[in-house]
Amino acid sequence: MSARDTDWEGVRLHVVTGKGGTGKTTVAAALALGLASAGGKVLLMEVEGRQGIAQLFDCPPLPEGERKVAVAPGTPGRAGGDVYALAADPESALAEYLEKFYNLPRAGRALNRLGVVDFVTTIAPGLRDVLLTGKAAEATRRRAGRRRVYNAVVMDAPPTGRIARFLNVATEVSGLAKVGPIRGHADSVQGVIHSPQTAVHFVTVLEEMPVQETLDGIAELRGLSPGGLQLGGIMINMVRPVGLSDDQLAAAAAGRLDVHDLALGLKTAGIEDGSGPAENLDLAGSLAAELTEHAREALAQREQRELLAGAGQPCYELPLITDGMDLAGLYRLASALREQGAA
């Protein structure tokens, strides 16, 4: 593990949630790469059966089981570790569970063919969730001899609207199983999820709806009993550079830009449309309109950023990658997370 301090020292299961489409899968992958740069193995796990991780790393759909998908960028004097990926599904998790607790190898597969797994997970969605969170807890604790197999597990989790239920597994199955192995399993999973080893991070962009969902999600998780869950960071994704000073922003937002000044500035920069001063003023006029739009957006984003800062969790910013999301883009996001102490 890294000798350097991060904000989440001691956390070994990172749960990444957020509003749909804000970049959960991308940020979870970047976090996994960031954590793996210290060396060792990190497991990136998805639970929605969408093969989003395979798409992101541009590899064929993930088979059952864990597979290496990337090598993390190293740190000076040290090679990067490996990121493994797993598309967890309740069927395989149930099969593993039956094998482990009832010594029934392949029972899961047979049950699956008979439609029993579907039946069970449909009548008891809480069971489906406990199987998936159980898989995450198992990977987090897994050892080979005395060594842990994974330094960290990063879960690309369900969106904000479903995260509290998803993680509140012991309560969810309590009506279903009061005693016995399922109950015991749920309790032991709950033990990992509700421990300082687990943190729940929120991904958002600087827009009203996702920010509101983040704040609501944080409040909901804080309100969970018993003990609650450890809240993690707020990952502000797709941040664009502003490029204007505060004064310029205020002037531009108020539509107070001096068009003559802008025209002159354009001329000095060698940008003219060549047809004369009047046309140049037109050009400067459109530029002013665009700057006004940009400034208003930047100020609105600043407001959203302040709302997020008020939630009392560390905030991290990830830049908008404009030239397509590939491994190089993920490396950039990973290093942004590392520079800010998130990984």
Ligand X SMILES: Nc1ncnc2c1ncn2[C@@H]1O[C@H](COP(=O)(O)OP(=O)(O)OP(=O)(O)O)[C@@H](O)[C@H]1O
- Report if residue 25 touches ligand X, rule: CB under 6 A: yes
- Report if residue 22 touches Mg ion, rule: CB under 5 A: no
- Report if residue 26 touches Mg ion, rule: CB under 5 A: no
One character per residue 26-45, x = contact with ligand X (rule: CB under 6 A): x-------------------
Nearest to 313 by CA among 230, 231, 228, 221: 231
CB of 32 within 8 A of CB of 46? no
Cβ at position 130, least distance to ligand X in Å: 22
The residue among 12 and 24 lying less far from ligand X, judged by its C-beta, is 24
CB of 173 within 8 A of CB of 127? yes
CB of 311 within 8 A of CB of 234? yes
- φ, ψ of residue 225 in degrees (nearest 5): -115, 160
- Report if residue 21 touches ligand X, rule: CB under 6 A: yes
The residue among 16 and 342 lying less far from Mg ion, judged by its C-beta, is 16
Binding window for Mg ion (CB under 5 A); candidates: 50-58, 195-203, 216-224, 296-304: 50-58
Nearest to 53 by CA among 86, 21, 80: 86
The residue among 24 and 185 lying less far from Mg ion, judged by its C-beta, is 24
Which of ligand X, Mg ion, none sits in contact with 321, Cβ below 5 to 8 A by type? ligand X
From the number of C-beta atoms within 10 Å of its C-beta (0-12, 13-18, 19+), residue 316 rates as buried
Which of ligand X, Mg ion, none sits in contact with 318, Cβ below 5 to 8 A by type? ligand X
- Report if residue 121 touches ligand X, rule: CB under 6 A: no
Residue of minimal Cβ distance to Mg ion: 25
**Exactly one of 197, 204, 230, 237 binds ligand X (CB under 6 A); which one?**
237
**Exactly one of 20, 49, 191, 277 binds ligand X (CB under 6 A); which one?**
20
Q: Which two tokens stand for residue 169?
A: 């597994």
Cβ at position 58, least distance to ligand X in Å: 12
Cβ at position 100, least distance to ligand X in Å: 30
- 231-239 and 152-156: which strand pairing? unpaired
Residues of span 238-277 touching ligand X by CB under 6 A: 238
The residue among 157 and 192 lying less far from ligand X, judged by its C-beta, is 157
CB under 8 A, 24+ apart: contacts of 76-82: 78/38, 78/39, 79/39, 80/33, 80/36, 80/37, 80/39, 81/36, 81/37, 81/38, 81/39, 81/40, 81/41, 81/42, 81/151, 82/36, 82/40, 82/41, 82/42
- Report if residue 314 touches Mg ion, rule: CB under 5 A: no
CB of 296 within 8 A of CB of 318? no
**Exactly one of 104, 244, 321, 327 binds ligand X (CB under 6 A); which one?**
321
- Report if residue 320 touches ligand X, rule: CB under 6 A: yes
Q: Which two tokens stand for residue 248?
A: 């310029």
Beta bridge partners of 199: 14
Amino acid at residue number 216: D
Helices and strands (H and E) in the chain: how many: 14, 10
One character per residue 51-90, x = contact with Mg ion (rule: CB under 5 A): -x--------------------------------------
Q: Which two tokens stand for residue 274?
A: 């060549």
**Exactly one of 6, 25, 160, 280 binds Mg ion (CB under 5 A); which one?**
25
Residues that bind Mg ion (CB under 5 A): 24-25, 52
Residues that bind ligand X (CB under 6 A): 18, 20-26, 52, 159, 237-238, 318, 320-321, 325, 333
